[in-house]
């Protein structure tokens, strides 16, 4: 006994006509005939009398109709409830590191929202380290993250964007005209760190440490606007994405002698069902990416 067979049977009862029933089910008449036959075979019972090409329920058929009706109602209810739990959300929980939230994400978000206005995005602005964990614990559906370490087996990754950190100073700064700087050139340079638990900072600080340099950190901020302001005023330098430096006329971005590449990815958990909303975001990101290339 299969749910589909019950549906076929019920349609035949409703229309008292196999052909009509088949139409209502959007399948062909022989399929319905054979479903009825299969049920009869399985039960060892005639569900219908075949009187002159007309189908009339037998006693057994009446019984089955009544019971299977109740059953189907419950099946449909359960199915609807489960689907409600799932697809009714129209919500993606996505982790976005602060720096990306002000720089890359707004444009992506606008484009996504234009395509899927019904889907809301709940942004969790945390650094990559934290969002990674939240994705693994399924508290987030997706995250945009700066990926530095070896491949994490638990996560799928989709490259969004690659760039480098550059050292940003005021346009008139002595370092501004240099083709590149080494970290050792920055021993005395006051620096503003972009405050984040992201792997970006981890990489940077480990680089300093490996050169045995204690960077002169003037302050830390999570506000890009604040950092830019300090840099433009010549009060300090900062490590920012190449693209952010390029956008500001008052700020010069000087490449590092030993570049610090930043790979920005969309990540999500392996072996986990991806809700249709999240799947849409992933697909969207792929095509958005293609378009950008």
Partner DNA sequence: CTAATATAATAGATTTTATCTATGATGGAA
Partner DNA sequence: TTCCATCATAGATAAAATCTATTATATTAG
Q: Report helix, strand or coil for 26.
A: coil
Least distance between a second copy and beta carbon 184 (Å) = 44
Q: Where are the beta strands (DSSP E) in the chain?
A: 48-51, 54-57, 91-95, 120-124, 142-147, 155-170, 190-194, 216-221, 237-241, 251-269
Q: Residue 89 to residues 84, 109, 125, 142: CA-CA distances in angstroms?
A: 8, 18, 21, 15
| CA nearest to 185, candidates 201, 207, 163, 200 | 207
Task: Report if residue 42 touches a second copy, rule: CB under 8 A.
Answer: yes
Confirm or reject binding of residue 2 to a second copy (CB under 8 A).
yes
Answer with the entry of DNA, a second copy, none that 87 interacts with (C-beta below 5 to 8 A by kind).
a second copy
Q: Which of 57, 71, 203, 232 is in the footprint of a second copy by CB under 8 A? A: 71
Binding mask 55-94 for DNA (x = CB under 7 A): x---------------------------------------
* Binding pattern for the stretch 4-33 against DNA, x by CB under 7 A and - elsewhere: x-----------xxxxx-x---xxxxxx-x
Q: Which of residues 255-274 bind DNA (CB under 7 A)?
A: 270-271
CB under 5 to 8 A by kind: which of DNA, a second copy, none does 138 bind?
a second copy
Is 40 one of the binding residues for a second copy (CB under 8 A)? Answer: yes
Q: What is the DSSP string of 226-253?
A: HHHHHHHTTS-EEEEEHHHHHH-TTEEE
Query: In this chain, which of 103, 161, 241, 275 binds a second copy, going by CB under 8 A?
Result: 275
Among 1, 3, 34, 172, indicate the residue that binds DNA (CB under 7 A): 34
Q: Which residue, among 256, 140, 267, has the nearest Cα to 199 in the 3D structure?
A: 267
Tokens 């019971």 belong to: 67
Structure tokens at 117: 């206005």
Q: What is the DSSP string of 180-200?
A: -B-GGGGSSSEEEEE---SHH
Please identify which residue in 70, 114, 117, 249 interacts with a second copy, judged by CB under 8 A: 70
- Our finding on whether 41 is near a second copy (CB under 8 A) is yes
Site for a second copy in 104-143 (CB under 8 A): 138
Within 128-157, the residues that bind DNA by CB under 7 A are: 153-154
Q: Are 203 and 292 in contact (CB under 8 A)?
A: no
In sequence order, the β-bridge partners of residue 219 are: 192
The two three-digit tokens of residue 265, written as one number: 């990815």
Q: Is residue 256 within 8 Å of residue 180, measured between CB atoms?
A: yes
Cβ at position 51, least distance to DNA in Å? 8
**Owner of token pair 């990306």:** 100
Residue 192 Cβ vs DNA, minimum distance, rounded to whole Å: 38
List residues binding a second copy (CB under 8 A).
1-4, 37, 40-47, 49-50, 60, 63-64, 67-68, 70-71, 74-75, 78-79, 81-83, 85-87, 138, 271-273, 275-276
List residues binding DNA (CB under 7 A).
2, 4, 16-20, 22, 26-31, 33-38, 48, 50, 52-55, 153-154, 270-271
């Amino acid at each position: 006994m299969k749910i589909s067979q019950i549906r076929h049977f019920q349609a035949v009862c409703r229309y008292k006509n196999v052909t009509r029933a088949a139409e209502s089910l959007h399948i062909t008449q022989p399929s319905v005939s054979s479903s009825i036959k299969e049920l009869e075979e399985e039960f060892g019972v005639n569900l219908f009398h075949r009187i002159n090409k007309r189908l009339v329920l037998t006693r057994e058929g009446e019984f089955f109709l009544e019971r299977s009706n109740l059953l189907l109602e419950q099946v449909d209810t359960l199915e609807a409830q489960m689907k409600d739990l799932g697809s009714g959300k129209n919500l993606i929980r996505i982790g976005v590191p602060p720096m990306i939230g002000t720089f890359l994400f707004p444009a992506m978000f606008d484009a996504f929202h234009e395509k899927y206005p019904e889907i809301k995005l709940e942004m969790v602005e945390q650094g990559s380290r934290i969002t990674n964990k939240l994705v693994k614990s399924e508290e987030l559906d997706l995250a945009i993250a700066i990926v530095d370490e070896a491949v994490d087996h638990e996560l799928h990754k989709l490259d969004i964007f690659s760039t480098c950190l550059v050292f940003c100073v005021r346009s008139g700064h002595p370092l501004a005209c240099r083709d590149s700087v080494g970290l050792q050139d920055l021993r005395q340079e006051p620096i503003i760190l972009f405050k984040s638990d992201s792997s970006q900072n981890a990489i940077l600080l480990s680089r300093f440490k490996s050169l045995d340099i204690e960077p002169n950190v003037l302050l830390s901020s999570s506000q890009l606007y604040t950092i830019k302001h300090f840099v433009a005023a010549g009060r300090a330098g900062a490590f920012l994405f190449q693209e952010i430096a390029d956008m500001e006329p008052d700020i010069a971005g000087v490449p590092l002698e030993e570049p610090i590449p930043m790979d920005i990815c969309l990540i999500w958990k392996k072996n986990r069902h991806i809700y249709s909303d999240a799947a849409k975001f992933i697909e969207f990101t792929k095509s958005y990416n293609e378009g950008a290339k």
